[in-house]
Each structure stands twice: as C-alpha cells, then as structure tokens.
Amino acid sequence: MFILVLNQKNLIQDGLNNKLVYKFPNSVTLSNKYIAVSSISMFYSWNNISVANMNNTLSYSFGTQSYTIVIPDGLYEIAQLNEFIQFECIQNQTYWYVASASSTFYYPFQITVNQTRYAIQLNTYQVPYVGNPTYTSGGATLPALSNTGNFAQVSFPPKFNEIVGYTVNPLGFKSYGDAIQVPSFPNSNNNYASVICAGNGLGGVMSYLSNTAPQVQPNSNLLFTMSNINNPYSQPSSVIYSLAPSVGIGVQIIEKPPQFMWIKLIDGIYNELRLSMVGTDLNAVQINDPNMTILLCIRDRDEAIMAHK
C-alpha cells in the first residue's frame, strides 16, 4: 500500500482552491491498482451565496420605490443574512424610528428561522405613512396614507428563493407583503403564517412561512473527483468520495472514513493524478481557505482480495 499526501502546495493557483495535482517523481506504470481516500482535513469555507451561484440578489419596496439588495460573496447563516439586509436598509434610508426617540430602528421586512416549522419565516411590516406624527423616516420617502396598510413587498428572485425556501411563480418572481386582505391562517393555497393588519394605523405585520425546504447551503456536500479512475456505475464516473461538513462555518473538518472505498485506476503510465472538488450540482466550488491535507491510498488488486478473505 502506498500513501499520497496532497496539501496546499498541490493546489492549482487559479483562485478557486478546488483542484490539486500530485506529480510523481518519475513516470510510473499503474496496473491493477486501486485508490481510496484515507483522510481529509480542511476548513468549512465554501460560499453558499455568490455571483457564481447566481443567488446573491433580492428586492423590496418602500413606499413607491423599489430597491435591490446585492449580497457580497460569502458563507451566510439566516441570521447573518438578516443583519446584512438591515444594513442595506440603513444605507438606502428605508427605515423609520419613533420621532421622540431615535435609538431604535424599524425595518420594512425581516427573515428569521422558524425551527418548529422547519421553515424560514418572512415578516413584512406596515410602513408609516407620510405625515404620521409618531414615526420619522430614515430619509426615503414614506408612502401616502392607505386603507390597505402600506405593507412592504419583498421579492425573492430565482436561485435566492431556494436559499430561503420560497417558490417562485412562472414569471420568475413572487412578491410577499401585498397590501390586500388575506386569510389569517395558512391553507393549501398560500403560505401565510399570521396576519395582523392595523388598517391605516401602525404596527401591522404579515408573516409567511417558506413552502419548500430551505437550501441555505446549496452545496451541502463536496464531491471529490479524480482523473483516470474506472467507476462505470457512477455519474459522473470520476467521483471517488463525498464530504459533508459536520462543523460550523470556518471550523476545521476532519474526515476519516471508517472503511476505505477502493476504486480501480485505469491501467496506464502516469506522470500525475488530479483531484477536484465540485458541488452537489457538479459545478466548480470556490474553497476560500486553501489550508488542507488530503491523504490517498493506492494498493494492488491482490491486496484488495486478501483484505476480504
């Protein structure tokens, strides 16, 4: 049995940190050889929201104006997403506060985790009307007085909607927070969680629950693929291992399979072996932290046979 060690020095320097090349000191003939992953040590650092994933935007309304939020590439939990949304609302001046006490800001909408319903809850709030003596705008124009309540509207475009678990309509967008009369309880035709409508006053909130399972991390698994292997029953045929992080963001993953999964290498003369990491959608994944060590084992067919006797 032979051990190959791949680490940061083996990375292809393309900024993605997802491809490693092991170069043999000399050309080697590999015949009837099998390869398996022995251990993986790397940090949980691949993005769930990015330009490459096409899931980095959402939009909302404040009065008659619409705003688009562009989320920087990163690895976000729902709470961190909500914090960034509030930051953007402040930048857009789309918030309000009590005129006599400006220490607390109110925002047009909020996303949060509803653990008991295994859902992401969207709360849209009633925006104060122009001239309301109680509240002052952060700078953006408040809507006119309306009997339907001036609730903020939120749109989740395709791809981002999968992060929060909301379906989109055939046109590609679905707005939440429409200022209309709605049922007070969810049913098979909607995903309202609750409605508190304060008419043309203040304090109204419309809450929604996601109607599909949220995919907060679209690439919940990393698939390891290798050149020159013979795996005819897999699609793609180059997959040799699947890594599921069981740690928090930025924490080191230490993976040691309880049993090696041996896969035959195609017979031939080799100068190098290439190992790549892709997402569950089989597209390239950017690994932010290049600090990693991956051990591979190679052994003869006869060793594999003896191991099963």
162 and 135 share one domain: yes
Q: What is the pLDDT of residues 110-129, one digit of tens each?
A: 999 999 989 999 998 888 88
Residues 90 and 192 in one domain: yes
Instruction: Among 166, 182, 209, identify where a domain stops.
Output: 209
Pairing state between β 119-125 and 205-209: antiparallel
In a shared domain, residues 179 and 281: no
Q: Are residues 115 and 184 in the same domain?
A: yes
pLDDT digits (tens, 9 = 90+) for 145-195: 776 668 888 999 989 999 999 887 655 566 777 644 444 444 545 576 776
Are 178 and 270 members of one domain? no
pLDDT, residue 236, reads 80
Radius of gyration of the chain (CA): 26
Secondary structure E strands in 165-267: 175-176, 192-196, 205-209, 222-226, 229-230, 239-243, 252-255, 263-265
CA distance 73 to 296: 31
- Is 52 a domain residue? no
Q: pTM of the full predicted structure?
A: 0.84
273 inside domain:
yes
CA atoms of 190 and 180, how far apart (whole Å): 14
The number of distinct structural domains making up the chain is 2
The last residue of one of the domains, among 209, 238, 268, is 209
3-class secondary-structure state, position 179: coil
Pair (235, 176) in one structural domain: no
Q: Do 124 and 177 sit in the same domain of this protein?
A: yes
Structural domain harbouring 181: 57-209
Q: How would you write the pLDDT of the chain (309 residues) with one tens digit per residue?
A: 889 999 999 999 999 999 999 999 999 999 999 999 999 999 999 999 999 899 999 999 998 899 999 999 999 999 999 999 999 999 999 999 988 877 789 999 999 999 998 999 999 888 888 888 888 999 999 888 776 668 888 999 989 999 999 887 655 566 777 644 444 444 545 576 776 665 544 678 888 888 899 999 999 999 999 988 877 787 788 999 999 998 999 999 999 998 999 999 999 999 999 999 999 888 889 999 999 999 999 999 876 555 544
User: What is the CB neighbour count within 10 angstroms for residue 214?
Assistant: 18
The residue whose two tokens read 């939990």 is: 77
Query: DSSP label at 216?
Result: S
Query: Which residues, 6 or more positions from 147, have their beta carbon under 8 angstroms from its beta carbon?
Result: 199, 200
First to last CA, the chain: 17
